[in-house]
Amino acid sequence: MLALDGLKVHFDVSRRRGEKVVVKAVDGVTLRLRKGEAFGLVGESGSGKSTIGKAALHLVPITGGRLEIGGEEMTRLDRRAERRLRRTAQMIFQDPHSALNPRMTILRSVAEPLVLHTPLRGAALTARVAALLEIVGLSRQFLYRYPHELSGGQKQRVCIARAIALEPELLILDEPTSALDVSVQSQILEFLKKLQADLGLTYLFISHNLAVVRYLCRRVAVMYLGVIVEEGETEALFSNPRHPYTQALLKAVPYPQAVQPDRGSPLQGDIPSPVDLPPGCRFHKRCPAFIPGVCDRHEPPQVRDGDAMVRCHLFADAART
């Protein structure tokens, strides 16, 4: 459903005295999402995971690589292809409070993509919006309300209704529950799981919350400083993480002391700046398994084992023996 081959998103930024540097937000990412699956993308802030979602919808320019959605090459778009993309894929953003225009009624907000891409108008348009609200668990009474009259969970449901208005096949969800109260998060997650089953949607679920990804997604990729460092079936990756970064992320997930798994050392320090990437393995300055003269000099290759992949010198050495 979604295929990325060597996708790159680089930004030029200016420092003091007019010096320009390149931020490699996404640097050669290859991913495959199967039709109808929920795929998780995790990592710390600054890892580049949200940029991948935006690049897939051409909300940020693509520097290099190849993008396919639904089998159609969409790396470079003309106006007609862009309209097809908007019907095929949609994005749900992190903060529902800023995603809705405070001056527009819920009817107008949800109807916006329908007005742009379909001939629906008048009573037929209103009926379609009411039906969309019903799908997300909101009654017709919400049609003429404004965002300030809704709770956070209700606003996110409105955003979901707007995202599915054109019946897309792919939904990119960028931290869709992180701005909500904990009590509301579980309701939205339950709803998203049911929605995927009912409509046969494909999800790219972007999050820093590993527990949420484990609940919703069948496969997951771990991202660090613009590259994928590990990928695999969710339960296999959570029960037996290979990359030291994945181990450290999972170490930070709270468990009862009696069942705390042994998953390596906790994560130390902050993620380096993408403006000044470390040489060799990008994780080597924080890695408890750092090998001097190897990790700080050479980029680790991808080592694949079926659907699983890890990018680490420890496993590259094992693959050669």
DSSP per-residue codes, 111-158? HHHHHHHS---HHHHHHHHHHHHHHTT--GGGTT--GGGS-HHHHHHH
Handedness of CA 37, 43, 45, 46 (dihedral sign): negative
What is the model's pTM?
A: 0.92
Q: List, for residues 47-87, the tens digit of each pLDDT value.
A: 999 999 999 999 999 999 999 998 889 998 888 888 888 89
Taking residues 85-100, report their average pLDDT. Answer: 92
Q: What is the mean pLDDT of residues 102-107?
A: 98
- Arithmetic mean of pLDDT, 263-274: 77
pLDDT tens across 130-173, in order?
A: 999 999 999 999 999 999 999 999 999 999 999 999 999 999 99
Helix (H, G, I), strand (E, B) or coil at 231: strand
Q: Phi then psi for 127, rounded to 5 degrees?
A: -65, -40
Contacts of residue 315, Cβ cutoff 8 Å, sequence gap at least 6: 242, 303
135 Cβ contact partners less than 8 Å away, ≥ 6 residues apart: 161, 164, 195
pLDDT band at 306 (very low <50, low <70, confident <90, very high): confident
| pLDDT reading at 283 higher than 60 | yes
Q: What is the mean pLDDT of residues 194-206?
A: 96
> Mean pLDDT, to the nearest integer, of 295-309?
91
Closest CA to 104 of 64, 155, 160: 155
Q: Which of 240, 259, 311, 303 is nearest to 282 (CA)?
A: 311
pLDDT of amino acid 135: 96
Domains assigned to the chain: 2-320 (3.40.50.300)
Enumerate residues 6+ apart whose C-beta is below 8 A from 147.
97, 100, 101, 102, 104, 106, 109, 155, 158
Question: What are the two backbone dihedrals, phi and then psi, of residue 270, each rounded to the nearest 5 degrees?
Answer: -100, 155
Determine the distance from the C-alpha atom of residue 199 to the mean position of all C-alpha atoms in its chain, rounded to a whole number: 20
Find out whether 41 and 26 touch, Cβ atoms under 8 Å: no
**Is residue 259 pLDDT above 70, yes or no?**
no
In this prediction, residue 188 carries a pLDDT of: 93
47 vs 263, more confident: 47
Residues 32 and 166 sit within 8 Å (Cβ to Cβ): no
Average pLDDT, the chain: 92
pLDDT confidence of residue 52? 98
Contact assessment for residue 3 and residue 31, using Cβ atoms and an 8 Å cutoff: yes
Higher pLDDT, 226 or 16: 226
For the cut 90, the answer to whether the pLDDT of residue 124 exceeds it is: yes
Q: What is the mean pLDDT of residues 24-38?
A: 96
Two structure tokens written together for 110: 């949800």
Rounded CA-CA distance 230/204 in Å is: 16
The residue behind tokens 């809705």 is 100
Percent residues over pLDDT 70 in the chain: 95
Neighbours of 289 (CB within 10 A): 15
